[in-house]
Structure 1
């Protein structure tokens, strides 16, 4: 990004994604699929975060920031011949039991005029701002009318480099929601998490922070059972989740937390073992999926 900006060249999602993946491949498992060129732009990557006790699956799509006279803009509403990119991302994620996520490409601090980050901002060359160049945001929070400046972008996203940082503070919770939490979920949200569960907390915490600022009343107490709950040690970690919908018209706890599972699906285990056929793997994935990334995290975060 910096090299392009110095040369006054515009960089796009596809080029930056390829660079990110090439750097990540030195430390994690990256399996790209061979697809038509026109299908790659804005295409989705399956990301699995795995440790000794759990796995968390995301469907990630890149979105670059454009800054015009101080106003920030992300084209979440982009449409092509196949329809709404945002809708396809969510539909595919739901089919695969993954949480839909945007990888926000924010450019360099110079590109953002060193807009103050919320992480103890240090001015020019702020290290936290530099890390923000690639940030992850739950697609549930992708609202172009609201996410139009540095403040809302930073509040609703987390730097990719920080996503597995242990969560030292409790989640933001409306008091009425605390009463609806099953003991295992309450423990997850109110105590420090590491490894894969820290990654999961980074997503639900952003959603809960936004929910805290919404004026809608908490939905009447109710619990939804996770899918595959008959196989407790194979399915989702949380068997019961609150049905509160906020302003999103869907139970956001299930949307974000159901992809947290005790063990990853079989194709992830095959990738980690190195015993897989790329063509066969690709044939079992939706056509929008460009490849798979598997990140093995140490249990201590």
Structure 2
């Protein structure tokens, strides 16, 4: 069955053959956990940074699907040069494709700051992402960490 990654329940892993684990199911579970944590933490005004969510999600993907997903998380210095938080390669046998990914966390009221200028260089992060990803033979992509955009009920 895989693993339940939702933050509100204890993660339990059922041993299954690697080929039987669903990458799609794991990605959905990561998205659900991230969505719920962001929504909950925005109400308490104690929102972790996007790096926290990236670390948790990449750890789960590497642990559960390391046999078919290779992940390279970039340092802040590397990100300033290439515009990406990480690169991952999805493969089966000798076939695969790579993606350079920039994560963005939704702001409290919703929306994203996609037009980020890299400190010290004055360059657009999104342009760096596209240019560097294509030069490396990867697909440029964003991972958007979002949440419910509504107020907590007081009743």
TM range (shorter): 0.5 to 0.7
Counting only pairs closer than 5 Å after superposition, residues 1-301 of structure 1 correspond to structure 2 as: 1=34, 2=37, 4-5=41-42, 7-29=44-66, 31-32=71-72, 35=75, 37=76, 43-52=84-93, 54-68=95-109, 72-80=110-118, 81-82=120-121, 83-107=123-147, 111-113=148-150
Higher relative contact order (CA 8 A, sep 6+): 1
**Residue 52 to residue 43, structure 1, CA distance change in 2 (3 Å):** closer
Q: Deviations over 1:266-290 (max 9, x none)?
A: xxxxxxxxxxxxxxxxxxxxxxxxx
RMSD: 2.9
Retained in 2: the 8 A contact 1:44–1:89? no
Structure 2 runs not aligned, ≥5 long: 1-33, 151-155
SS in 1 for 2:47: coil
Question: Deviation at 1:60?
Answer: 0.8
Retained in 2: the 8 A contact 1:58–1:93? yes
**Residue 45 to residue 26, structure 1, CA distance change in 2 (3 Å):** same
Question: Deviation at 1:44?
Answer: 2.7
Quick check: which has more Rg, 1 or 2?
1
**Residue 31 to residue 59, structure 1, CA distance change in 2 (3 Å):** closer
SS in 2 for 1:9: coil
**Residue 97 to residue 79, structure 1, CA distance change in 2 (3 Å):** same
Please state which structure has a larger fraction of its residues in helix.
2
The normalised TM-score by structure 2 is 0.56
Structure 1 runs not aligned, ≥5 long: 114-301
Whole-Å separation in 1 of the counterparts to 2:129 and 2:85: 7
Question: Deviation at 1:28?
Answer: 2.3
Whole-Å separation in 2 of the counterparts to 1:26 and 1:4: 26
SS in 1 for 2:64: coil
Q: Deviations over 1:37-64 (max 9, x none)?
A: 5656874311111124731221111011
